[in-house]
Amino acid sequence: MKYSFAIILLLFVSSAFAQRIYKEKKLIQFSGLITDVDSNGVVPYVTVTNLSYNDQKYAANYKGFFSFIAHPGDSILYTAVGYKDFVYVLPPEIEDSKYTAMIRLKSEIINLPMVRVYPWATVEEFTREFLAMKVADDDYVIAAKNLSQHSLSGMIRTLPRDGGEISNSNYRMNHDRSLNKNMVQTNPLLNPFAWGKLMQTIFKGDQSRSADN
């Protein structure tokens, strides 16, 4: 009787141990799609690491899809450039031989320190270039140069007149015409004084020629 009870107990323990080993070694086909939390767009070429199984690594394709063999309760790490690391733990009890999940990664914003680039390789080169540098004129000197006679003359010759100058010129011309519209200009052919000056000029010319002869 004692031996029968021991044999039954041994068989029960062996069966329980075998069931536990079977559950621990159960394999499932774990598949899923990796997307972005903010844009819902797929994240391609994500590195997938099974932390519970010797850090075995896999990779998602360009559409963000992955599929590999795992065990219930495994911890899966997802890493990608520009995204925060994400760990997904499989449920410990999975009845089916396949399991799917939607993995959503959060983008990582890294603020880099400001970098200032100088064109000089050494301090000595900077000092030499600084001492040889020509200091620019201040605002007063620049204004004096722009208002000089030489600068203004050059701008008068090269710059075209703007609308204001053309309008003022037309206004002055119209004003002069309106003031002189009642004045009658005399014909020089009808002026006797002009004829007298002409005759004097002719007589003086004749006298000079006779004196030369």
For residue 160, the model assigns a pLDDT of 81
For residue 98, the model assigns a pLDDT of 93
Nearest to 33 by CA among 61, 57, 58, 64: 64
30 with 73, same domain: the answer is yes
For residue 22, the model assigns a pLDDT of 44
Low-confidence spans in the chain with pLDDT less than 70: 1-25, 181-188, 206-213
For residue 57, the model assigns a pLDDT of 94
For residue 13, the model assigns a pLDDT of 45
For 113-122, the pLDDT digits (tens) are 888 887 888 8
133 with 100, same domain: the answer is no
77 with 145, same domain: the answer is no
For residue 208, the model assigns a pLDDT of 65
56 with 126, same domain: the answer is no
Domain membership of residue 171 (yes or no) is yes
Domain membership of residue 195 (yes or no) is no
48 with 77, same domain: the answer is yes
Which of 89, 105, 121 lies at the terminal end of a domain, its last residue? 105
For residue 137, the model assigns a pLDDT of 77
For residue 174, the model assigns a pLDDT of 85
Which of 105, 138, 159 lies at the terminal end of a domain, its last residue? 105
The burial class, CB within 10 Å (0-12 / 13-18 / 19+), for 46 is buried
Domain membership of residue 197 (yes or no) is no
What is this structure's pTM? 0.45
Domain count, the chain: 2
For residue 7, the model assigns a pLDDT of 52
For residue 213, the model assigns a pLDDT of 58
For residue 212, the model assigns a pLDDT of 61
Rounded Cα distance between 48 and 66, Å, is: 8
Q: Where in the sequence is the domain holding 169, given as residue range(s)?
A: 112-177
For residue 206, the model assigns a pLDDT of 65
48 with 99, same domain: the answer is yes
Domain membership of residue 42 (yes or no) is yes
77 with 117, same domain: the answer is no
168 with 116, same domain: the answer is yes
CB 47 within 8 A of CB 79: yes
158 with 125, same domain: the answer is yes
Residues 6+ apart with CB under 8 A from 88: 75, 76, 78, 101, 103
Rounded Cα distance between 52 and 74, Å, is: 5
Domain membership of residue 158 (yes or no) is yes
